[in-house]
Each structure stands twice: as structure tokens, then as C-alpha cells.
Chain A
Amino acid sequence: GENVEQHPSTLSVQEGDSAVIKCTYSDSASNYFPWYKQELGKGPQLIIDIRSNVGEKKDQRIAVTLNKTAKHFSLHITETQPEDSAVYFCAVTPGGYQKVTFGTGTKLQVIP
């Protein structure tokens, strides 16, 4: 089955700095890569996603890059703010209605 590794497990940055979270996966059939933000006691919220025919996608302060050859993708958050503090999960799926495999999560702390 699919194996997704996520690093780092915890990340502390000063407000205004950038944060980068990386994920690797094993199944070359995977072609959809969403990122979720989960605040304490809440369900995951989709923040950005990328499909295998795209190498990079940006939405304001958030960007995701994908290297399908190397089977890794990364989340980039620029100009971090305290409200960015949360747990971030990468995820991988072959697409369609097939199940999603989640990374182990990264706890991001933005220090004011």
C-alpha cells in the first residue's frame, strides 16, 4: 500500500518567517496531493491541493510544489502569522473515490 512520510514532526518559526513541510510517498499511481490544516479539536480543513500534471500551485501565502519523479511534495507558508499555528497533514490519493493516505502530521508553532 501507499506509504507517506512527513517531516518535520514539529516546527517553530518566528512570526513573518517562512515555514516548509515536506512529504514523500511511495505509490507512483498517486496523482492528487491535498494539504490539510487541523486546529485543536476540529476536523481537517483543506488549504491547498495539487494534481500530478502541475509542478507548483500558489494561493496567497501558501504554495505547494510537486516533484513526481522523486515522489515528494512540499508545503510552503510565507509571512507566517500566529493564526497559522496548527497541525498540518499532507495526503496522497490515486484520485477518484479512492482512499486518501495521510502523512503523520507537522505541528507548526508561529511565535509572535
Chain B
Amino acid sequence: GAVVSQHPSRVICKSGTSVKIECRSLDFQATTMFWYRQFPKQSLMLMATSNEGSKATYEQGVEKDKFLINHASLTLSTLTVTSAHPEDSSFYICSASDSGTTQETQYFGPGTRLLVL
């Protein structure tokens, strides 16, 4: 099956620093990737849609200058949390759709746990 990886799996950083999270589709190409945020015991909240070669589309209320998304290739999207603060601590999950087959199915990465001190 389609595999999506994320790196790092967990990261601890100091307030004010920036953190980059990578999302890779390992065995398929993904024109579109999605970034989600999940708080404890809550559902997934879509942050933005990442499109290869073009600007990301952000959901209402998500600061594009705070959460920088780059989708430079068909297998890699990155999310950079800039000037992180404790309230940015969360579980970040990416997903990707296989451009070559069924378009609807989204495959999720294992998630990245971010803790900002």
C-alpha cells in the first residue's frame, strides 16, 4: 500500500525558534498533500492544502506566515512552524493522495509531535 513518512517523529524546541517538518510519499507521487493539526482527544483539523509547484491553500484562521508550506517535488512537502510558541505545541499530521491512481484516497503519515518550551 501507499506509504507516507514524516520526519521528525517528535521535536522539542525553545520558544522563538523555527521547526521544519517533512512529509514524503515513499512509493507514489503526490500532486497534492494536506497538513493537519490534532489536539489531544480531538479530531483532525485541516490547516492547508499543499500543491506541487504552486502556493499552498490555507484554511480560514491559519496564519500563512506562521505555518510556511513548501511542496517543491511530487514526493516532498514541508511545513515550517516559524517563531514557535508554546501554543503551537500539537500533533501535526500530513496526508497525500496518489496522483497516479484513485484520487480520493488520502494516506496519512505517522505524525510529528511538537513541544515548544
Contacts and interface: CB of A to CB of B under 8 A. Distances in A.
B44 interface: yes
Given A32-B104, A102-B43, 14 more contacts: A43-B4, A43-B109, A44-B93, A46-B105, A51-B104, A89-B43, A89-B44, A95-B104, A96-B103, A97-B32, A99-B46, A99-B49, A100-B46, A105-B43
Contacts of B107: 46
A42 B45 CA distance: 15
A26 interface: no
B97 interface: yes
Interface string A10-36: 000000000000000000000010101
The B interface is mostly helix, strand or loop, or mixed, namely strand
A96 B104 contact: yes
Size class of the contact patch on chain B:
20 to 34
Contacts, number: 54
Interface string B100-117: 000111111111010000
A44 B107 CA distance: 8
Contact of A44 (B6, B105, B108, B113): B108
B103 A36 contact: no
Contacts of A104: 42-43
Nearest to A105: B43
Contacts of A99: 34, 46, 49
Nearest to B99: A97
A67 interface: no
B34 A34 contact: no
Interface string A41-73: 111111001010000000000000000000000
